[in-house]
Amino acid sequence: MFRDMIINERLIYERLGYHKGIIPYLGVHDQSTGAIRLADAKQGDLERYIQSHDETSEAIRVTWIQSLVETFWYIYSRKNLHQDVKPINILVENGGLKVVDFANAAMHDLDADMEEICAKDPLSRVDILGLGCIIYSIAAWRIFYYDFFEHDRWPEPGGLPATGDLLCKDIINKCWRDSYGTIKSLFEDVNVLSGTER
């Protein structure tokens, strides 16, 4: 099973190619095990980064949110779904964010209709739920993660932190309520952000 996950991850990295928001794939490390090599992100994952650093400026947080959602839009446009979107799978490197860990990802045919897939299968929208948690974590500078697979359902309002007047509060709430049909519609909402918009 582990080998199959590594093969799946390698195939997805190969399909994705280089993207500034994805940790660089450096090829196969060991032919016998299928192990792959990835670039190092010396600043660690987003969860540890937020817990160990003072809150960054709103301008940087907006940039991070925009770049992260753009990266997931790219992943989606290449007919992949990550399916394990959480703060420890987002790395911080040179002041930017990099997506990592495609072992649980789903790769669809290049001619697949992703809107139809997302409309028919709620699990295909779990990436959006995870992105809502990460956007909240960046905006609030406090880690929050909801594991859909552990609870086997979308979160109930009482189990979610208040968004108050947070940056991107409407986007966060739409992610948590399963109001986005696809990552494309989330990307379109985030794309209008500026340093002063909420």
pLDDT for 73-119, tens place per residue?
Answer: 999 999 999 999 999 999 999 989 999 999 899 999 999 999 999 88
CA distance 54 to 48: 12
- pLDDT of residue 148 exceeding 80, the answer is yes
Architecture of domain 41-194: Orthogonal Bundle (1.10)
The single residue listed with the structure tokens 């940790």 is 23
**Mean pLDDT of the region 143-162:** 92
What band does 196 get if pLDDT is binned at 50, 70 and 90? very low
Q: What is this structure's pTM?
A: 0.92
- 80's enclosing H/E stretch is strand 80-81
- pLDDT of residue 191 exceeding 90, the answer is no
- pLDDT of residue 166 exceeding 60, the answer is yes
The predicted structure's pLDDT at residue 41? 83
- pLDDT of residue 160 exceeding 60, the answer is yes
Number of other residues whose CB lies within 10 A of the CB of residue 28: 14
CA distance 164 to 162: 6
- Sequence letter at residue 40: D
